[in-house]
Amino acid sequence: MANLTPQKINDLGVVSTLQQASAAGDEFTNSGVEFIHVKNGHATATYVVTITAQVTNIHHQQFGTVTKTDVTKSVTPGQDVFIGPFKQSAFNDGNNNVQITYSAVTTLSVAALFLDQQ
């Protein structure tokens, strides 16, 4: 599993530096403003990206039990997608990381990004 370092987007923009998605999955430290950029460089294969929800059920006084599911996104050949941001209370693991897995990783690249809030 690779640890992705979120790249800052400011008023000058950013050219995201993508890296090969890891077959074992990837993770990044999440403060609630991060999202991921995924690019499928394959000519014919569609890949599924899954962001694992760490807290899947909470009880709310007004709404009862609320269920949060994993986020899944199909990335078709040649497609760039952006997924997120991710609520800390639902997606952060015990180390404040978001966990990402992939159905396959051939020609699949990924970057973690965040917006400069200052």
66 to 81, 85, 106: CA distances (angstroms): 27, 20, 36
Pick the closest to residue 115 from 3, 5, 13, 4 (CA basis): 13
Do residues 2 and 105 make contact, with C-beta atoms less than 8 angstroms apart? no
Tell me the C-alpha distance between 109 and 38, whole Å: 6
Per residue in 25-38, pLDDT tens? 999 999 999 999 99
Give the domain extent around 84.
2-115
Q: pTM (2 decimals)?
A: 0.90
Per residue in 81-114, pLDDT tens? 999 999 999 999 999 999 999 999 999 999 999 9
State the CATH number of the domain containing residue 41.
Answer: 2.60.290
How many domains, the chain?
Answer: 1
